[in-house]
Amino acid sequence: MTSLVGHLINGKIVTDADKTQDVFNPSSGEVSKQVALANRATVNEAIAAAEKAFISWRNTPAMKRARVMFKFKDLLEQHSTKICDLIGQEHGKIAHDAAGELQRGIENVEYACCAPELLKGEHSKNVAPGIDSWSEMQPLGVVAGITPFNFPAMVPLWMYPMAIVCGNCFVLKPSERDPSSTLFIAQLLKEAGLPDGVMNVVNGDKEAVDALLFDDRVKAVSFVGSTPIAEYIYSTSTKNGKRCQALGGAKNHAIVMPDADVENAVAQLLGAAFGSSGERCMALSVAVAVGDEVADLLVQKLSKSMKNLKFGAYTDSTNDFGPVITKQHQQSVINHISSAEKQGANIVVDGRDAIVSGYENGFYVGGTLIDKVTPQMDSYKAEIFGPVLQIVRVATMKDAMSLIDNHEYGNGTCIFTRDGEAARYFSDHIKVGMVGVNIPLPVPVAYHSFGGWKRSLFGDLHAYGPDSIRFYTKRKTITQRWPSTGVREGVQFSMPTLS
């Protein structure tokens, strides 16, 4: 009998469920366990627990809240092997990739440990005679996060550590496809000393999501996922008076200039396109070659190097990448490859018939290279979210930049070049939120903020880093005077000024 993954509500695991869903091991294609899907009543229970805990948590000193995060960081490091194994079991991510994901999450916890400094606010003495003014960063209350399957450890850690150290209480709705690592990590917070109710986890589908979006007690929602869902989350949240940041899809391009170090570009493209089976919102899925000469060289070297790519089960750490998340998504990726072929592209390396010995029912797609893709093709327009790299050929850098600027997504991009002037011009003018120069995955470190432009982000504030402080707090400015004994002023009807 398969085990059941439950919810974490008010410090306790809750397994009662009217609905459940299978959780698969993508490496083998087998059902490994089931997950409870929360109904509206279960979500209400989690929100109520968070609302009750907020009364005392908001007044807990910032240093004491930070100490919980220090302990939490230690526990994440102590249990890293188990966390990575849980990620592998349900996502299929190879251990070295899972370890990288977890480390980037831990770095956000480290940043949250700086809360006492980050929340100090501002103070001005004698803004007028005897009058002082200061600002405070106050918590919002109950806030929620809705996170995707592709980073079950890292993306939630973008959200709730900072929300919690700012004094909020949190309700997390992780992906129901790979819930175990997320739930286990949340339990470590309780072990770190977090009071019951401050952090709650509810697994579920759209019913659980809508329960969060329509509940007046939830003051802010943070989301990472596909663009259609991001747009729904943002519009529904804001219509219901909530603050919202919703990070959507991507189509990340790398421009390869004629002067680029092609050997380096090929090595970087391989990792950025095929790492985590391409299931990253920052995956480089399009290489834009400037000129046929560099395009031919790129295709030649990529196809040769791709013969050495090794994919398979998460249990073999020598693999470069594993399966995709579901059987349905495997078919979706294959359909995109077939679509490109039908519309005139050249399939240079074909991963559609990928089979792993001993894991024949796993959800595998091999590394795929497609040349002579055009912007009119469906495969170019879509976020394939699989181990597929497409080559688009253009004549000039201006053409390459126009191609990127005209795409609906603006998450990440990079340029491979030895020309500093070209790199500077590209960085200054490209209409994309995160830019790399000879860096294929320009994911900001924890003390900067992550977010794209155009339809890759709905909302004004990016994820984690300095923007997370602004997102999870509201500013209150206080102006105060204590008149000297015996000093009284007459009535003033004009606007107060310093004159």
Name the active-site residue from 113, 169, 244, 281. 281
- CA torsion angle 26 29 34 40 (round to 10): 60
* Residue 335 backbone class (left: φ over 0; alpha: ψ -120 to 50; beta: rest): alpha
The Cα 224–Cα 457 span in angstroms is 9
Instruction: Say whether 281 is catalytic.
Output: yes
Q: Which residues contact 299 (CB under 8 A, 6 or more apart)?
A: 348, 369, 371, 391
> Would you state the structure tokens that stand for residue 174, as one six-digit string?
């992780």
**Which structure tokens are listed for 188?**
């470590």
Round to whole Å and give the CA distance between 289 and 282: 19
* DSSP secondary structure of 85-136: HHHHHHH---HHHHHHHHHHHHHHHHHHTTHHHHT--EEEEEEETTEEEEEE
E-only strand ranges, 239-361: 243-247, 252-256, 284-290, 346-349
Check the CA dihedral 258-260-264-270 and report its sign. Answer: negative
HSE-up of residue 270 (Cα within 13 Å, Cβ side): 21
Q: Are strands 388-394 and 368-371 parallel, antiparallel or unpaired?
A: parallel
Rounded distance between C-alpha atoms, residue 379 and residue 388, angstroms: 10
The torsion region of residue 309 among left (phi > 0), alpha (psi -120 to 50) and beta comes to beta
Dihedral of the alpha carbons of 111, 112, 114, 118, in degrees to the nearest 10: 110
Of 395, 13, 31, 33, nearest to 196 by C-alpha is 13
Q: Which residues are catalytic?
A: 281
